[in-house]
Amino acid sequence: MECLFCKIVDGEIPSKKVYEDDLIFAFCDINPMAPVHILIIPKVHTASSMDEITPENSKYVARIFEKIPVIAKDAGLTGGYRVIANCGPDADQTVQHLHFHLLGGKKLSVQLG
């Protein structure tokens, strides 16, 4: 499989890791949309997008959301943050590996697209 995020988890592509455990991996986005922009992904390619979350793979999503507050605090996001998941081409999902964007570090706009 030629998945960019799988290659990052495997160490084939370098990244700035901010968190890792047995199920998930978090790293800084190379094209940040905010002062803090962290991507949080399952370490295994269990789903290409949110459309493929099932009872069998939902443990990865649960772990991600359990750890988001820890990752946000470690990143200094004391004033709040935003979590986004793009799903499909109309949402501009560019990597087909389930992932969540953690954004913060400034007052974020409420304006969408």
Q: What amino acid positions are annotated as catalytic residues?
A: 99
43-68 exposure pattern, b = at least 16 Cβ within 10 A, e = fewer:
beebbebbeebeeeeeebbebbeebb
Q: Under DSSP, is residue 80 helix (H, G, I), strand (E, B) or coil?
A: coil
